[in-house]
Structure 1
Amino acid sequence: MSIDWRSKGFWSPEEVLDPERIAAERPSIFGGGFTWPLLVVRRAGVEANIATMAAFCERHGFDFAPHAKTSMAPGLIQAQLRAGAWGMTVATANQALILRRLGVERVLIANEILDPVALRWLAAERAAGWEVYFQVDSVAGVRAAAAAGGPLSVLAELGHPGGRTGVRTLDELETVARAVEAAPGVELAGVTAYEGQLPDQYAVDEFLDRLVEGFELLAKEGLLPEQPILSAGGSAWFDRVAERLEGFGRRARLILRSGASVTHDDGFYREHTPFVRVPDQGGLTAALEVWAQVLSAPEPGLALVGMGKRDVPFDEGLPEPQEIRDASGSVRPAAGLRVTRLNDHHTYLESGPGGGTGLEPGDLIRFGISHPCTAFDKWRDIPVVDEERRVVEVLHTYL
């Protein structure tokens, strides 16, 4: 991996830069080697979040397979594995291919796979010794897996009305499990579900109880292996997953898949993290920030910032202005400022009624973001910084 003119945020019109050399020299992001906007990852925040989730899983008897789609950054994936993660989760066959090439030994694909090309590749890699699992929620999906020639390990997925994939009834869950039992080259490794789209704790608990009921049904019918997998857990309700499934630790390998926790955020997950409900269990810190420059202050109460939809997420809330850094390097809180909308490359930053923004063209604004999964996918190379905003590592992402 090298850094050159193709790397957004790094300013290198001619020279090809070595990420290891950048990390060794520890340049400040304000020192001229970077331009705006710039997404950075705070090292201290990431390290604290990884440690918090590792401790939570150990405390409740879960293995952790964090969702790699959040970052698709080898540096963060390896950091989570070093902290004890059982494996990594992905959403697509392409992401699984990337993790296979990165040397991740155990991957859970939290999705259905019906593409015969991808299935044949998965079967070949499984035969070569790679531990990989994917989900099935239909007899058609089981047949597609069997047609790949095996061996393949699958998880029967339970869903809920209005949700994503997954069978809607326990009868259908049993039907899928029996189809797997009859399919040559396909083995049922366990049961899985995703609760993240449900609206409240009551609905989540009810759904997780149905997952337990489905697990018990398949176990009673002799359709599960000796040590089955029982998996759930997005980033918003993993406390309820621990509460509802913890008692099955002696009968199943419990796997939590929360991915957004690695960097957390200053928006959706700040409000929805389970640690809001169970603060005694730990806490997460926002580890992503975007620095962008004021381009224009054309009228009272309005400033235009050089950052837009191609740079920051906006699907789960707009960026949050947090700090202003003027041309002298002085910093102050971005109190009273708010983002009202984004264009492709512009952010509209407004002050409260009757007030000015106090901003000058050239000022830098530090923004927090909401929803890390749609932040990483906009940046190929991302500086990791210490608390003085000096670069200590460069992350490369696979988009």
Structure 2
Amino acid sequence: MGSTTTRSLGGAENSGINSVRVDGLGLVELGWKYKSVPAASHGRSAADYVASGVSLGDLQTPLLTLDAAAMDSNVERMARWCAEKGVLLAPHGKTTMAPQMWRAQLDGGAWGITLANVSQLRVAHAFGVRRVMLANSLTDPQAINWLANTQGPDFFVVSWVDSLQTVALQELVLDAVPGSVLDIIVELGGEGGRTGVRSISGALEVARAVHASKHLRLVGVGGYEGSLAHTADAGALATVDGYLSALKGLHEQILAEELYAPGVDRIVTAGGSAYFDDVVSVLAGCVSDGTQGDEAGGSAGGERVDVIIRSGAYMVHDDGFYRDISPFARGGQATAGQPPFASAMHAWARVVSQPEPGLAILDAGKRDMPVDEGMPEPQFLGSELGGSMVALAGASISAVNDQHCFLRFDPATTTVNIGDVVRLGLSHPCTAFDKWTLIPVLASTANPGSPGTGYQVVDLIHTFF
């Protein structure tokens, strides 16, 4: 991507996290508040428990697990793709709120971590994340004040604004913090979307206000195309591409008016986990190493322009929404040398009741599993947790209560007993992690029919929601 000698926002080579603080999670004492581990483990440190050689069968249901081999593959896959496309990656950390997983993404070459609010920023600061994009507008005076007094060389944060009122509010609060400056991205939205200025002309007004402010400096433009579409059909993709073209146009007009802060490299950012290929296709032309001038998206001052995507679900992926809509699973890419991501999360639930033929009640519910993007998917059945399992064909989850779910099956072809264990595929990692404060990581869950050593617990992931 060119020389980095004048980069103020840096590149992936300078990103990081405080590994000493992350490793310190291994000292956390296991106890009653961690529902994924049995009472026999209480009083032991997380690291000692893992080192003792525990496996899936030593845990208890209901349970959420992660697959280490799948996550490693997904991280490497995404890092290689971004490098090939010449874009940077700031994965959305709110998906997992797990510093151990953030470290894996940063070690894999990510530019930084994206977050959504100030409480999440405090988690990142506590674990020494050096570079954060806050994909939201700060309007709480205490949050603005905290950031102004906390940011520095080891905690760089760039946040968004989408209105003149937000600019004025931040200016007012920052007047009380002498010398304070926040780096700002102007957010462009779209009709029917979430946040973001609804027109290029309106976004330019906001950009001009940031440019004229005492405490804000404009470093980029951004937005979220995922709020404008939810499928991968032609109409949805056309909507996404139209929005991205408008975002590119906004960046070009800001360049033309010289509204970006001088001497600071620029960011053009979009891209959740569903349409990041479209983002790169449309916005890749914005990338510049600062030596090409305005014609290549740069500027006379030599500042770089980086396209940063913020996909958050790719590391874990799923067996539902993202499996169906991910760029690596549609459009023929999976058969053209572009293997899809692998689902790295599964729920495990035990049969606690069989009140009717063809109905089994499992001990996992919406307090344990996500249901906002589709019901859990019954995949395998076994007589014990950690043992061999058989494919559970034709079964489905028909309803989910707080602590139970309803497994429907054909009793003529499938035998289910009290105490049996079902492995469930899940949809939407963003609403899976918040239900667990501790998540066991297994070496691999790829072959439930013959688990072998793949069910060894190799880590315990701590989350901070």
Q: Which residue of 1 aligns with 2:172?
A: 147
**2:44 aligned residue:** 17
- Kept after mapping to 2: 8 A contact 1:155/1:188: yes
Q: Write the deviation string for residues 246-301 of structure 1: whole angstroms up to 9, x where unpaired.
A: 12211311111000001000000000101122334442000001111011112111
What are the within-5 Å matches in structure 2 for residues 48-127 of structure 1?
48-127=73-152
Residue 26 of structure 1 and its aligned partner are, at CA, apart by 2.4
Aligned to 1:333: 391
Alpha-carbon distance between aligned partners in 2 of 1:191 and 1:295, rounded to the nearest angstrom: 52
Find the aligned partners of 2:65 and 2:117 in 1 and give their Cα distance: 26
Is 2:407 the counterpart of 1:349? yes
Structure-1 separation of matches of 2:432 and 2:41:
27
Offset of residue 13 of structure 1 = 6.1
2:321 aligned partner = 268
- The correspondence of residues 181-192 of structure 1 with structure 2, limited to 5 A, is 181-192=211-222
Secondary structure of 1:30's aligned partner: helix
- Please name the residue that 1:312 is paired with: 369
In the other structure, the counterpart of 1:167 is 197
1:204 to 224, 240, 244: 240
Greater shift in the superposed pair: 90-99 or 122-131: 122-131
Q: Distance in 2 between matches of 1:23 and 1:14?
A: 10
Corresponding position of 1:216: 252
Q: Which residue does 1:292 correspond to in 2? A: 349
Gaps of 5+ in 1: none
What letter corresponds to residue 67 of structure 2 in structure 1?
A: R
What percentage of aligned pairs have identical amino acids?
Answer: 40
Partner of 1:28: 55
Counterpart Cα distance in 2 of 1:331 and 1:282: 26
Which residue, 152, 155, 158 being the options, matches 2:188? 158
Distance of aligned partners of 1:327 and 1:170 in 2 relative to their CA distance in 1, 3 Å threshold: closer
Report the Cα offset of residue 130 of structure 1: 2.2
TM-score by length of 1: 0.96
Q: CA deviation at 1:330?
A: 3.7
**Which letter maps to 1:213?**
G
Choose from 214, 229, 233 the match for 2:271: 233
- CA distance in 2 between counterparts of 1:372 and 1:171 reads 36
Do the aligned residues in 1 keep the contact of 2:211 with 2:260 (CA within 8 Å)? Answer: no
Deviation at 1:210, TM superposition (A): 0.5
Q: 1:331 corresponds to which letter in structure 2?
A: M
User: Secondary structure of the residue that 1:359 maps to in structure 2?
Assistant: coil
* Separation in 2, partners of 1:65, 1:30: 36
Runs of 4+ displaced beyond 6 Å: none
Paired residue type of 1:340: S
1:247 aligns with 2:278: no
CA distance in 2, matches of 1:14, 1:203: 51
Query: d(CA) in 2 for partners of 1:266 and 1:6?
Result: 28
1:137 paired residue among 162, 168, 173: 162
Unaligned runs of 5+ in 2: 1-27, 175-179, 230-235, 289-297, 299-304, 445-453
Q: How far has the Cα of 1:124 moved from its partner?
A: 1.1
In the TM superposition, what whole-angstrom CA distance separates every residue of 1:62-118 from its partner, at most 9, and x where no partner exists?
111000011001110110011111100001111011101110000001111100100
Code of the aligned partner of 1:48: S
In the aligned structure 2, how far is the partner of 1:186 from the partner of 1:43?
42
1:200-256 Cα distance to aligned partner (Å, 9 max, x none): 111111110000111111110001245210000000000000101112211311111
> Deviation of residue 357 (structure 1)?
4.4
- Tell me how far apart the structure 2 counterparts of residues 359 and 336 of structure 1 sit (CA, whole Å): 13
- Preserved CA contact (<8 Å) 2:217 2:260: no
The 3-state SS of whatever aligns with 1:168 is coil
Give the C-alpha shift of residue 327 in structure 1: 4.1
TM-score by structure 2 length?
0.83
Please list the CA deviations of residues 118-147 of structure 1 after superposition, one character each: whole Å capped at 9, or x if unmatched: 001111122565210111000111112222
Alpha carbons 1:297, 1:361 under 8 Å: kept = yes
- Three-state SS of the structure 1 residue aligned to 2:435 is coil
Kindly state the Cα deviation for residue 51 of structure 1 after the two structures are TM-superposed: 0.5
**Offset at 1:355?**
4.0
CA contact (8 A) 1:295 1:306 kept: yes
Cα 1:45–1:246 change in 2 (3 A) is same
Q: Report the Cα distance in structure 2 between the residues aligned to 1:284 and 1:258, rounded to whole angstroms.
A: 13
Partner of 1:376: 433
Q: State the secondary structure of the residue aligned to 1:323.
A: strand
Matched, 1:321 2:371: no
The amino acid that maps onto 1:144 is: L
Q: What is the Cα-based RMSD across aligned positions, in Å?
A: 1.5
Q: Quick one: which amino acid aligns to residue 221 of structure 2?
A: V
What residue is the counterpart of 1:259 in the other structure? 312
d(CA) in 2 for partners of 1:366 and 1:304?
A: 14
What is the CA–CA distance in structure 2 between the aligned matches of 1:208 and 1:322, rounded to whole Å?
38
Match of 1:94, SS state, is: helix
